[in-house]
Amino acid sequence: MPPEVHDVLLQSLRALYIVGLPLLLIVTVSGLLASAIQAAFGFQEAAVGFAVKLISLIVVLYMIVPAAAESVVAVAQLAFR
């Protein structure tokens, strides 16, 4: 494999981790916390868990967009160089 292809692949995986991993972790943790609180209070409503996950996803997306855009632009510049 040529070194340029290896560099693009490595940068693409790094961009995937920068964009995807925080989203997945935060939404998973917020869903677990919402489920634990619901179980503790005996309130079993699916909409509450969904709303908590959606709000946490929006907040994390708002915070991570600059880093995500920067990493995607870096991959594009490396790929088309």
pLDDT beyond 90 at 2: no
From 81, 30, 18, select the one nearest 54 (Cα to Cα).
30
Looking up tokens 């490396």 gives 78
pLDDT given at position 26? 93
- pLDDT tens digits for 16-59? 888 888 889 999 999 999 999 999 998 888 898 899 999 999 99
From 18, 31, 29, 32, select the one nearest 61 (Cα to Cα).
18
Name the token pair of 27.
């939404």
Name the token pair of 16.
């995937």
Question: Per-residue confidence at 6, pLDDT binned at 50, 70, 90?
Answer: confident
pLDDT given at position 44? 84
pLDDT given at position 55? 95
